[in-house]
Structures are given as structure tokens and as C-alpha cells.
Amino acid sequence: MTLSGSHPKVSTAERALDVTERVVQVRGYNGFSYADVASELGITKASLHYHFPGKAELGEALIARYSARFTDALERIDRDIPDARPKLDAYVGLYSAVLRGDRMCLCGILAAEYETLPNGMRDAITQFFEHNEAWLAHVIAHGQTQGSLSTGANPAAASRMILDGLEGAMLIARTRGGLPRFQSSAGQLLDTLII
């Protein structure tokens, strides 16, 4: 319990995850070291090792936290938005929010380094994308049943195209036009595939 006006103290582990997430979303997993994180936190590398025995464990914890937050966001979309197309627009909004902060989807940037990552991180990234594809396919199938989305698209195939298109659009937008380009591409993608 906290006193009025105060905030609970954020643990060193949470602060380390915050710093690492920001660094990875900008530079990638292979673009940072324990020394970078420890220095920014003002702690020793040994202190960081206390919370995360190695960089692989830090990476796995980072993906787990990111995935949990993303799942929470998808659950909020399901709870708050009844119709399929607005759900898909809200999904695009999750990506836009990340890009607005001059960052990339954590699992998207890690996927670019997939071959160099530890197996546990690879598995977690794969699960993140599988979960997103399943959610998108469910939304598309529901929209087709409602009659709000075209019945011409196979939900599983369309979900892959949306996810692949958004991740790719984020990468290109970093170098060509930023958020406006991403939002334009995402809107066109949804319109082409499902409306």
C-alpha cells in the first residue's frame, strides 16, 4: 500500500527490463550489453546478474513481459470493441503507439536477429507471433460471420498477411516517412485484405 500521492518503488529488475526494452527496440538484442544496462541504471553488472543470471534470461523475461502486456491489450480490445474492423484498427493502433515512440515492435526487431538468439528467446518470439495470428484469425472469422468483413479471405491466411505486413511496414517506416507512412500502409493493407 502506498501513501496518497506516492508511487510504489519500482524494483531494480523492472527498471532493468524497462531500460533493456527501450534499447532493444531501438538497437536490437545484439546492440546492447549488460554494461549498457547497468550503467544506465547506476548499478554494477554483478547487481544486474543477481536479477538476471545472463543476457538470455534477461531477453526471455523481456519477451514474457512484452507478450503479457500485448495480450492484455488484445483482451481490452475484445472487451471494449464489439465489431471486427474497429478491432483491427485498434490492433494497428498498438503498433502505431510503439512507432510513435521511435521504437519497433520488440518481437519484430528480435525476429530480425532470430538466428543469433538463444533457443528460449526464439521459442518465446514464435509463441508471440502465433498468439497474434490466432487472435487476428478469430477477429476476421467473427467479422465474416457478422457480415462486416468480406468472406473471400481465409482467416488464417489473412491474419498472417496482416501480421507480416504490419511488422514489415514498421521496418520500412523507420527509414521512409515514419508514422504517417506506417499508418497509410496499414490502412491500405486492411482495406485490401478484408473489406
Q: 189 and 162 in contact (C-beta within 8 Å)?
A: yes
Helix ranges, 81-117 (H): 84-100, 106-111
Q: 67 and 128 in contact (C-beta within 8 Å)?
A: yes
Nearest to 40 by CA among 10, 59, 16: 16
pTM: 0.87
5-29 residue pLDDT tens: 444 567 889 999 999 999 998 888 9
42-71 residue pLDDT tens: 998 898 889 999 899 999 999 999 999 999
SS3 assignment, position 9: coil
Q: What is the DSSP letter of 66?
A: H
- Please say if the pLDDT value at position 85 is more than 70: yes
What's the angle, vertex CA 115, arms to CA 59 and CA 40, rounded to 5? 30
Nearest to 91 by CA among 187, 192, 193: 187
Distance (Å, whole) CA 97 – CA 101: 7
> CA 161 from chain center: how many Å?
16
Residue recorded with cell 484498427? 89
Distance (Å, whole) CA 133 – CA 124: 14
95-115 residue pLDDT tens: 999 998 888 899 999 999 999
Nearest to 168 by CA among 130, 89, 111: 111
Nearest to 99 by CA among 166, 32, 193: 166
Which CATH number applies to 60-194: 1.10.3720.10, 3.40.50.11030, 1.10.357.10, 3.40.50.1820? 1.10.357.10
Distance (Å, whole) CA 123 – CA 112: 14
**Sign (positive or negative) of CA dihedral 76, 162, 169, 69:** positive
pLDDT at 195: 60
Provide CB contacts within 8 A for 57, sequence distance 6+: none
114-139 residue pLDDT tens: 999 999 999 999 999 999 999 999 99
- Please say if the pLDDT value at position 194 is more than 80: no
What does the block give as the cell for 65? Answer: 513481459
